[in-house]
Amino acid sequence: MIWKNIFGRAPRDEAPYALYGALVAQARSPQFYLHTGVPDTVEGRFEMVALHTFLVLRRLRAGGDEGKALGQKVFDILFDDMDQTLREMGVGDLSVGKKIKALASSFYGRINAYEEGLRDANNGLLDAAIGRNIFGGSQPSGAHMAALADYVRRTDQTLLVQPLTELMAGRAVFASPPEAAPRMTDLAGGQ
């Protein structure tokens, strides 16, 4: 497979790798870990990559068959990357397939939860999904969850207004991550 990646890629195949690289770079932005309390752990970083992958895939679905095909390639790259990461972490060959299957299943669950949360901005479902998935066992503040949910909504809108041709060419622009730790008064519109 690695030889195919090195020698067998046509120029048109660069777009999914470029999109995946862009979403991983965004997911690794220090602001998420410093200002919204996302755990700076393997799990926390996976969750942020999964969240950004969801946002890109959501936008690509609007691109018809071509967009969906590109989305499938991004999805495949995500799980190839997870496979390689697990192996580098020392997970045995016999366990990798099971772990990837579990990650894929959990990813589909996240997609459904985030999708439902984005349908209605005032339902609290997005905040709840973020709390469950991104923060897991930690106890984030309501301000941190709200700041991250606000970022997700802004990024969803930012991707929505980008021309699909840009995404199809492998270029994505995301909303800016939160620049400072939120205070409840900031989120409530107070001073």
Q: Where are the domains of the chain?
A: 18-176
Q: How many CB atoms lie within 10 A of CB 33?
A: 17
Per the listing, tokens 């923060």 go with 135
The pLDDT-based confidence of 186 (bands split at 50, 70, 90) is: very low
pLDDT at 158: 97
Looking at per-residue confidence, does 171 or 84 come out higher?
171
Give tens-digit pLDDT for 34-46: 988 899 888 888 8
Query: 96, 87 in Cβ contact below 8 A?
Result: yes
Residue range 74-102: average pLDDT? 80
The pLDDT-based confidence of 100 (bands split at 50, 70, 90) is: confident
Instruction: Please provide the average confidence, as pLDDT, over all residues in the chain.
Output: 84
Q: Which helix (H) or strand (E) segment is 135 a member of?
A: none
The whole model's pTM is what? Answer: 0.84
Q: Within 13 A of 80's CA, how many CA atoms are on the CB side?
A: 12
Residue range 148-165: average pLDDT? 95
Q: How many CB atoms lie within 10 A of CB 113?
A: 18
Provide the b/e sequence for 169-188 (b: ≥16 CB within 10 Å): ebebebbebbeeebeeeebe
Lowest-confidence segment of 10-14, 42-46, 105-109, 161-165 by average pLDDT: 10-14
